[in-house]
């Protein structure tokens, strides 16, 4: 089956709520799923005990206290019970369509990396998973009130054990490390499978108060530039746009025939992706800045989209 691993923020306030939502959704994917949580953040040990997760309190960190990607991926591959792993950010609710996508990828080929675009969705409280319809309701909420994020944003990576070695000391919590992870898989001949049309990973919106410059700071500060430098100074960066194959709505795997063409025109691909990313970034920054006040006054995302003239 599958081992999921992650490293959380402290389990306080809204972050604690959405992390518990995400972790519970992972545990409910299948009885055989293993979940490993790395780090000694406040509330992590008690959350793992409460939810029946494996807790690895030790994680190697940069002087900034951000965890090292190489340690997380190396240690997870060493101790995982299963032959397939998934790193996911700790705010992503995964549903049964994700598990089905994994099963199709596993049957497809031995060496692959499964990725997909997330749905940014306002979720402010605990998800009641005692209801048999909870997953269907969350999926409906994401599709009707959420926003499908740009393919440059990547939150989960499913891969076979042993795919990642010689990982540079990149840092979780800043940009570019996730793009390096995609490049590394492609450089090792893995098929990059995009399940965006098939699965609905639900990203629970949150603020970025942990950084003085908000989301923009996590993209542009010294630590983000450090990640970019370690990623071949930007040469070893890829995204969902570079997928070799896609999973259709019907569950068939098809070759991405546009991908070789886009790679042969790097400037066009990069400029197109950059324009989309900047537009999404502006809208996302507005969503992030107004999250708390919208929550207080009851302004839902669908209303905000109408006010902004978005269909």
What's the whole-number average pLDDT of the chain?
Answer: 87
In this predicted structure, what is the pLDDT of residue 207?
A: 73
Question: Using the 8-state DSSP alphabet, how is residue 125 labeled?
Answer: S
For residue 136, the number of C-alpha atoms closer than 13 Å in the C-beta half-sphere is 4
d(CA 98, CA 84): 14
What residue segments make up the domains of the chain, in order of their start? Answer: 3-258
Task: Tell me the average pLDDT across 225-241.
Answer: 94
The residues near 73 (Cβ < 8 Å, ≥ 6 apart) are: 87, 164, 167
Least confident residue range of 54-63, 197-206, 245-254, 299-308: 299-308
In this predicted structure, what is the pLDDT of residue 257?
A: 80
In this predicted structure, what is the pLDDT of residue 52?
A: 96
In this predicted structure, what is the pLDDT of residue 219?
A: 80
In this predicted structure, what is the pLDDT of residue 276?
A: 46
- pLDDT 10s digits, 99-149: 999 999 999 999 999 999 999 999 999 999 998 999 999 999 999 999 999
- 217 pLDDT above the threshold of 90: no
In this predicted structure, what is the pLDDT of residue 77?
A: 98
Is the torsion defined by CA of 247, 248, 252, 256 positive or negative? negative
CA dihedral (301, 217, 7, 198) in degrees, to 10, reads 40
Task: Tell me the average pLDDT across 289-299.
Answer: 62
- 263 pLDDT above the threshold of 60: no
The burial class, CB within 10 Å (0-12 / 13-18 / 19+), for 88 is buried
Least confident residue range of 182-186, 253-257, 258-262: 258-262
Pick the CATH number of 3-258 from 1.10.357.10, 3.40.50.300, 2.60.120.10, 3.90.550.10: 3.90.550.10
């Amino acid at each position: 089956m599958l081992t999921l691993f992650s490293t959380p923020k402290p389990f306080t306030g809204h972050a604690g709520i959405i992390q518990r939502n995400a972790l519970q959704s992972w545990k409910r994917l299948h009885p055989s799923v293993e979940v490993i949580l790395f780090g000694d953040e406040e509330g992590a040990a008690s959350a793992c005990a409460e939810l029946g997760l494996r807790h690895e309190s030790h994680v190697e960190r940069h002087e900034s206290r951000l965890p090292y990607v190489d340690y997380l991926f190396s240690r997870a591959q060493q101790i995982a019970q299963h032959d397939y792993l998934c790193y996911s950010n700790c705010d992503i609710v995964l549903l049964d369509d994700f598990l089905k996508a994994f099963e199709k990828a596993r049957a497809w080929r031995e060496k692959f990396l499964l990725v997909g675009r997330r749905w940014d969705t306002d979720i402010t409280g605990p998800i009641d998973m005692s209801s048999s319809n909870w997953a269907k309701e969350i999926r409906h909420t994401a599709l009707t009130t959420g926003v499908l994020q740009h393919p440059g944003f990547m939150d989960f990576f499913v891969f076979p054990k042993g795919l990642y070695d010689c990982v540079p000391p990149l840092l979780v919590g800043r940009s570019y490390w996730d793009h390096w992870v995609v490049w590394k898989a492609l450089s090792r001949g893995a098929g990059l499978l995009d399940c965006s049309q098939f699965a609905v990973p639900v990203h629970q919106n949150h603020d970025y108060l942990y950084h003085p410059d908000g989301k923009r700071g996590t993209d542009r500060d010294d630590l983000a530039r450090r990640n970019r430098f370690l990623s071949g100074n930007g040469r070893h960066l890829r995204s969902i746009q570079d997928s070799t194959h896609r999973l259709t709505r019907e569950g068939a795997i098809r070759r991405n025939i546009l991908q070789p063409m886009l790679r042969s025109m790097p400037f066009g691909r990069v400029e197109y992706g950059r324009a989309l990313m900047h537009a999404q970034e502006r809208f996302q920054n507005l969503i992030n800045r107004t999250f708390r006040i919208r929550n207080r006054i009851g302004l839902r995302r669908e209303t905000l989209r109408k006010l902004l003239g978005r269909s």
